């Protein structure tokens, strides 16, 4: 079967948005579709055209088992390279040239198929989408419009394939500006990207969004150093939406994958958690943090280190976006957006509920396992299997693992949804690959705009998109500074420390550690 070996995680993602989700039905729908990506030689030879096709392959081969690449005006060596990329992601994928059910055409040439066709292209900061006519691809080294076009195509494909279970229809023709979030006649082309000095920029979190950031930054004229921080390793379920990750990356440090992909730039990678990185760094004078971590707690911790500037990206159910935090004193800080306004469930409670062990005695048992570092054993396996209505033998490979690991691999990794047939939706936030990639592209774009001082206008705090519904003109949100004395940006100690740090210190400070070379600054912001 051509379905990926991490399909359970994809199913978990889909179960959160598809009406009446059933795992077997989900598989059959995917197997019934044959997706073809078409391009011509001129398009694939252009920087933006190749970038669009490359990201399409990286997105679609993670979900669709039948995918074919076609150069419409003759053979192309890029087809072989891109096919190898698809196989590296899903070794079982079927690349046979069959009659397609959907065609995605990149570039300016018409294609003659009777099925649904999406025409996409780009021009620097602009992404172009059409149902009726081909769209040209530009030759710049700016990947933002090209990447956004691929994400829009993948989103519309998902909406079409699962149209009976989704409220959102496919888009009509539009142009979208990654530069300012506008569409159609209001879509503004951004400036040509000439040079980008990153100064002191720390990328925190190298997961799905961080992968999107790295993909978008490659080929750009970057100087200075990017400090990429993440202490985790890649596991099989991560392949569901990490656009840079392939099967051979499993068990590798996430930082290793980012370093390999951005090896043409001066990238310092750290297989550390953020607090560990601060200790290694030796100072807290971080000029700019690019934040793509998973939890509100981690975001508040990053804001608490008081960088000069923060740019943040997120995905949540039916939304992806970025937020900007350039003035801790006078504007909403990152903690304002993630202030705990209600009591949060404890981790033992979340694990107990996800395993169907929400009864009082069972919750106490889960707490006992975690508090005493007890590993998963046969009695626990039998209890969970009985509650979930599955064979205990299916969970035996997890005996001896910690409950945290069991939760991560079985619940968050999508194993349970495969075993139960998907009739029980699990409590987890698992966006689609195209949502995470788009968040990363938007985040990288905001980083470049800030570093290169490309905009004279003060942007709204939030720029967001819902890729599960047709695009709208209103993608920005203004946010007021959180009106509570509990947020750290209302705390005199934090405010005075921020003022002291950034009024009396250089705007950007280099730093060295034992494995790092100082970097130069071409300008200050």
Tell me the pLDDT tens digit for each residue of 486-524. Answer: 889 999 999 999 999 998 664 444 443 333 322 222 222
Q: Are strands 102-106 and 67-71 parallel, antiparallel or unpaired?
A: unpaired
Whether residue 459 is found in the same domain as residue 409: no
> Residue 158: what pLDDT?
97
The pair of three-digit structure tokens given for residue 448, joined into one six-digit string: 């470049």
* Residues composing the chain: 525
Whether residue 471 is found in the same domain as residue 401: no
Q: Band the pLDDT of 363: cuts 50, 70, 90.
A: confident
> Which of 420, 454, 473 is the endpoint of a domain?
420
Mean pLDDT over 340-346 rounds to: 68
Answer yes or no: are the C-beta atoms of 494 and 192 closer than 8 Å. Answer: no
User: Would you say residue 286 lies in a domain?
Assistant: yes
> Residue 514: what pLDDT?
32
> Residue 57: what pLDDT?
98
Distance CA 36, CA 18 (A): 24
User: Would you say residue 359 lies in a domain?
Assistant: yes
Distance CA 130, CA 113 (A): 15
- Of the CA atoms within 13 Å of residue 309, those in its CB half-sphere come to 22
Distance CA 514, CA 489 (A): 34
Whether residue 356 is found in the same domain as residue 324: no
pLDDT more than 90, % of the chain: 59
User: Would you say residue 444 lies in a domain?
Assistant: yes
**pLDDT tens sequence across 233-271:** 999 999 999 999 999 999 999 999 999 888 656 789 999
Whether residue 452 is found in the same domain as residue 327: yes
Whether residue 468 is found in the same domain as residue 325: yes
> Which of 420, 445, 475 is the endpoint of a domain?
420
Q: What's the domain count of the chain?
A: 3
User: Would you say residue 115 lies in a domain?
Assistant: yes
Distance CA 307, CA 323 (A): 15
Element (H, E) at 447: helix 433-451
User: Would you say residue 6 lies in a domain?
Assistant: no
Whether residue 401 is found in the same domain as residue 473: no
Mean pLDDT over 115-131 rounds to: 97
* SS3 (DSSP) at 63: coil
**pLDDT tens sequence across 382-432:** 888 888 888 888 888 888 888 877 887 777 777 787 777 765 444 456 789
Closest by CA position to 127, among listed 53, 69, 52? 52
Does position 302 have pLDDT exceeding 90, yes or no?
yes
User: Would you say residue 138 lies in a domain?
Assistant: yes
Whether residue 322 is found in the same domain as residue 225: yes
Q: What angle do CA 293, 508, 519 make, to 5 degrees?
A: 90
> Residue 505: what pLDDT?
61
Whether residue 393 is found in the same domain as residue 465: no
User: Would you say residue 518 lies in a domain?
Assistant: no
Mean pLDDT over 374-378 rounds to: 87
The partner residues of 312 in beta bridges, in order of sequence, read 291, 323
Q: Which of 105-109, 137-141, 351-355, 504-508 has the highest mean pLDDT?
A: 137-141
* SS3 (DSSP) at 494: helix
CATH code for position 78 = 3.40.50.720
> Residue 428: what pLDDT?
55
> Residue 513: what pLDDT?
37
Whether residue 247 is found in the same domain as residue 353: no
Whether residue 140 is found in the same domain as residue 272: no
Q: pTM of the full predicted structure? A: 0.88
User: Would you say residue 28 lies in a domain?
Assistant: no
> Residue 344: what pLDDT?
65
The pair of three-digit structure tokens given for residue 186, joined into one six-digit string: 């209001």
Residue-number span of the structural domain to which 382 is assigned:
347-420
Whether residue 373 is found in the same domain as residue 287: no
Q: Which residues make Cβ contacts (< 8 Å) with residue 470, sequence separation at least 6? A: 168, 169, 170, 171, 172
Average the pLDDT over each of 37-51, 124-138, 402-416, 463-477 and give the range with the smallest value. Answer: 402-416
Whether residue 254 is found in the same domain as residue 381: no
Answer yes or no: are the C-beta atoms of 124 and 109 closer than 8 Å. Answer: no
> Which of 420, 453, 484 is the endpoint of a domain?
420
């Amino acid at each position: 079967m051509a379905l990926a070996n991490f399909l359970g995680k994809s199913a978990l993602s889909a179960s959160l948005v598809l009406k009446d989700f059933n795992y077997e039905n989900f598989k059959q729908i995917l197997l019934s579709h044959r997706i073809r990506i078409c391009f011509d030689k001129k398009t694939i030879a252009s920087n933006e055209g190749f970038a669009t096709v490359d990201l399409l392959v990286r997105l679609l081969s993670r979900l669709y088992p039948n995918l074919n690449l076609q150069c419409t005006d003759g053979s192309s060596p890029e087809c072989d390279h891109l096919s190898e990329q698809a196989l590296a992601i899903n070794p079982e994928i079927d690349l046979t040239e069959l009659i397609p059910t959907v065609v995605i055409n990149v570039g300016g040439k018409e294609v003659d198929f009777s099925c649904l066709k999406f025409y996409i292209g780009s021009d620097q900061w602009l992404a172009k989408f059409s149902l009726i006519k081909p769209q040209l691809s530009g030759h710049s080294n700016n990947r933002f419009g090209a990447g956004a076009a691929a994400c829009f195509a993948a989103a519309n494909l998902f909406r079409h394939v699962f149209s009976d279970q989704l409220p959102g229809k496919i888009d009509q023709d539009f142009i979208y500006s990654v530069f300012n979030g506008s569409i159609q006649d209001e879509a503004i082309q951004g400036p040509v990207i000439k040079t980008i000095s990153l100064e002191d920029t720390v990328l925190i979190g190298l997961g799905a969004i961080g992968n999107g950031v790295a993909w978008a930054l490659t080929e750009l004229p970057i100087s200075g150093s990017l400090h990429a921080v993440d202490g985790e390793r890649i596991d099989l379920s991560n392949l569901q939406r990490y656009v840079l990750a392939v099967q051979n990356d499993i068990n590798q440090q996430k930082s290793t994958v980012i370093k390999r992909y951005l090896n043409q730039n001066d990238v310092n990678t750290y297989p550390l958690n953020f607090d560990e990185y601060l200790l290694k760094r030796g100072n807290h004078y971080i000029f700019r943090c690019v934040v793509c971590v998973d939890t509100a707690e981690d975001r508040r911790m990053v804001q608490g280190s008081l960088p000069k500037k923060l740019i943040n990206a997120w995905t949540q159910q039916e939304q992806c976006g970025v937020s900007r935090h350039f003035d801790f004193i006078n504007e909403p800080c990152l903690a304002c957006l993630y202030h705990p306004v209600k009591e949060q469930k404890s981790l033992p409670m979340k694990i107990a509920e996800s395993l169907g062990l929400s009864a009082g005695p069972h919750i106490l048992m889960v707490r006992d396992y975690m508090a005493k570092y007890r590993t998963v054993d046969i009695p626990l396996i039998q209890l969970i299997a009985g509650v979930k209505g599955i064979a205990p033998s299916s969970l035996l490979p997890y005996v001896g693992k910690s409950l945290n690991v069991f939760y991560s691999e079985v619940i968050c990794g999508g194993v349970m949804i495969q075993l139960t047939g998907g009739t029980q939706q699990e409590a987890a936030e698992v966006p689609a690959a195209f949502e995470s990639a788009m968040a990363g592209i938007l985040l990288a774009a905001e980083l470049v705009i800030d570093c290169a001082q490309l905009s004279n206008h003060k942007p709204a705090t939030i720029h967001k998109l819902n890729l599960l519904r047709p695009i709208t003109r209103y993608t920005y949100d203004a946010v007021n500074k959180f009106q509570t004395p509990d947020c750290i940006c209302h705390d005199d100690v934090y405010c005075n420390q921020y003022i002291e740090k950034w009024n009396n210190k250089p705007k950007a400070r280099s730093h060295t550690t034992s494995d790092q070379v100082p970097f130069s600054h071409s300008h200050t912001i």
